[in-house]
Amino acid sequence: MDTDGKDVTSSTLLSKLGIEDGEIRLTVGGETKSISLKGDMKVSDLVTQLKNAGVNANFDAKNQRFFVSAKETGAEGDFSLVAKDENGLKALNTLGLSTKAEYEKYCKKDDSGNTILEIDENKIGIWGTSYSGGHVLHIGAVDRRVKAVVAQVPTINGRKGAERKMGHEKFEQFLKNLTNYRTEQYVTGQRKMYPVVAEDGVAAQPHPDAYKWFTETAETIAPSWKNEITLESMEHYVEYNPASFIEFISPTPLMMIAAMDDGITPPDLIIEAFEEQAKEPKKLLKLPRGHFDVYNGATFEQASKESLKWFQQHLLTKQRSKI
């Protein structure tokens, strides 16, 4: 909400969000551009500047959130958003785009006078959802700098998940298609794309919940999203098995969240991995909804609240054992 207690819209002035004149810097593919912030700018003006600087940007008025993402895949699409000055840092925090909520405690200047964030190595927590939920399971097992992990509706085993969604016969045919594609790519050198979702279900995510969520999200907050994925990505997904790392996360605290009506990341695989592979300290949260419900509404609020409590418990306590 703004300083008047009203919901933020695209027409809301930045001054109504408590944002003063400042500067942020956006680096995309190695090229850095400065974005000046003014109190008389509208939210829509900031969105436009971010887009012009090289990223996808939207403000979701319904859920009161900014979305910023890369325009391109691969290294050329990598981007970072940092503050040039303290007002810029406050703005990033207000807009939900900073990497540290308690930024005042960690502000310092580099040799060029830029405001930077100092990271407390004893308070590093990682959170991931869906595919990235699998990533944090992997990272939590191999990187002891991580002190707490939350994996929300995570990918547990790509092969099992894909076969479950496609059905056995379609999955076997998909594997044959991948084999033919490898040969074709070797000869032609060209990549082939595959739809992320499709109304008839012939897609990377064949579940009807996925089609509904991706198409509606594209219409409302991600108009530049493309309904395509490389077949290499699908191949990597099928080969992806974060479950093999779960037993090695301990003694780092692990929380896993399962949506019991999830047709994308099967809850039984999550629960099985938690019960049979995860070691203490651990916690399992079961939510009575579907995969995409964790991103909005009451289910989002519950999942977020419990995730925050997990991080507070394991990262903000004054005395905690060294890992």
Predicted confidence (pLDDT) per residue in 97-156, tens digit: 765 444 544 456 666 666 555 677 889 999 999 999 999 999 999 999 999 999 999 999
- State pTM to two decimals: 0.68
Is the confidence at residue 6, as pLDDT, over 50?
yes
Could you say which DSSP state residue 8 is in? P
The CA distance from 295 to 97, in Å, is 17
SS3 label, residue 54: coil
The CA distance from 165 to 266, in Å, is 9
SS3 label, residue 59: strand
**Which ranges in the chain are annotated with CATH 3.40.50.1820?**
125-157+240-315
List all residues 6 or more positions away from 291 whose beta carbon is below 8 Å from its beta carbon: 130, 153, 207, 209, 210, 259, 262, 263, 264, 265
Answer whether 290's CB lies under 8 Å from 261's CB: yes
Mean pLDDT for 6-27 is 87
Q: Which fold has domain 125-157+240-315?
A: Rossmann fold (3.40.50)
Identity of the highest mean pLDDT range in 16-30, 75-89, 190-204, 288-302: 288-302
Mean pLDDT for 258-270 is 97
Nearest to 309 by CA among 299, 301, 297: 301
User: Residue 2's pLDDT is what?
Assistant: 63
* pLDDT band with cut points at 50, 70 and 90 for residue 322: very low
